[in-house]
Amino acid sequence: MKLRMVLLWLVAGMAVSYGQQSADKISNYNVEKGLALEGYDPVSYFSNGGPQKGDAKFKASFRGVTYYFKSEANQKLFLADAKKYVPQYGGWCAYAMGANGEKVEVDVKTFKILDGKLYLFYNAYFNNTLKSWNKDEKNLKTKADANWRKINQ
């Protein structure tokens, strides 16, 4: 009987710990009420038309984050390979992640596709961080990758 109680408490403790760990990971993403990219379609960034608003009737979740799509076709592309389309660094500003490891809001229309990955940037108050990123991209990307790994430990 005691063994069963101990096992029950261990399992319950692991479930609570796992749930907290999942919540912490989701908090690392730049989302508003669980929605990424302010409702923009992540697949649309990879097309010639650039970022376009998605529609709530075409949605999918990846790692607890919800994405909207402008069409069922884009939704299917995402579901086939979500890692290809999700923004890097949880959707936070790539420049800020590289420069100082901070999670900074972005302008979802200021972006860059680099090596098949989506990077987003802060762009407001006469400060377009994409321009700064482009001046030292290799160094900033290396630092951003390292900083993002630390955040997600």
Burial class (CB in 10 A: 0-12, 13-18, 19+), 122: buried
What is the structure's pLDDT at 1?
54
Reading the block at residue 101, the tokens are 């490891």
What is the structure's pLDDT at 43?
98
What is the structure's pLDDT at 17?
35
**What are the sequence ranges of the domains in the chain?**
30-86, 87-153
What is the structure's pLDDT at 21?
40
Query: pLDDT tens-digit profile of 94-123?
Result: 999 999 999 999 999 999 999 999 999 999
The CB density around residue 136, as the number of other CB atoms within 10 Å, is 13
**Computed from CA positions of residues 56, 61, 66, 68, in that sequence, does the dihedral angle turn out positive or negative?**
negative
Reading the block at residue 83, the tokens are 């890692």
Give 10-residue mean pLDDT values along the chain (153 residues).
42 37 68 93 94 98 95 98 97 98 97 98 95 98 97 87
pTM for the predicted model, two decimal places: 0.83
